[in-house]
Chain A
Amino acid sequence: LAKTTQPISMDSYEGQEVNITCSHNNIATNDYITWYQQFPSQGPRFIIQGYKTKVTNEVASLFIPADRKSSTLSLPRVSLSDTAVYYCLVGDRGSNYQLIWGAGTKLIIKP
């Protein structure tokens, strides 16, 4: 099972673009990369998932280089409400029970 490494915390300001990078050197061929967001006292919420290159949805973009050993979650023009913990997970997208959750990255957005 691939483990991930991400920064413990990050700060940014309203209106900025925020990029959170996750390392996953042992990613397997069948593994997908998934990001979740969690606010205090709430369950995690799915943000985005990808396999390679770039994926974009209405809230974020996910950049994955060719070697897939890392990935970057990009949040455009953040607001105070984007303050949360962000988790990067790597694994077979059909076997969620095998996903290993790290401590995540605590993102703090300042006014």
Chain B
Amino acid sequence: DTGVSQNPRHKITKRGQNVTFRCDPISEHNRLYWYRQTLGQGPEFLTYFQNEAQLEKSRLLSDRFSAERPKGSFSTLEIQRTEQGDSAMYLCASSLRTGSQETQYFGPGTRLLVL
């Protein structure tokens, strides 16, 4: 399968713990996105990378959240000192920008539950 993969698929943690999620994009894609989605809502943009450079980050994103994409391949999203409000589905998407067009391909998501 050459689609976007995310690990783990589910994570349960206690409030105050740190968690890290991994995303492996489609291999030739140069852009990688992280989104958060809560029940009944559409995805909310968190941040994105073009190759290894983090180009945009949501102003609403807490400084407890950090993302990396070393070498422009896989990416990790870390949440420090988790709070119950962080419980959500975390989605990763990748895309290949060609000219003025790009189409995002989403992974299956990581569902986080903070107790």
Contact = CB atoms under 8 A, between A and B. Distances in A.
Same complex for A and B? Answer yes
Contacts of B41: 101, 103
B93 A43 contact: yes
A97 B48 contact: yes
Interface in B68-115: 89, 91-93, 95, 97, 99-109, 111
Interface in A27-55: 41-46, 49
B43 A93 contact: no
B109 A94 contact: no
Contacts, number: 56
Interface residues of B, number: 30
| Contact-residue size bin, chain A (C-beta under 8 Å from the other chain) | 10 to 19
Given A94-B97, A96-B33, A96-B102, A42 B42 contact: no
Interface of B: 4, 31, 33, 40-45, 48, 55-56, 89, 91-93, 95, 97, 99-109, 111
Interface of A: 41-46, 49, 87, 92-94, 96-97, 99, 101-104
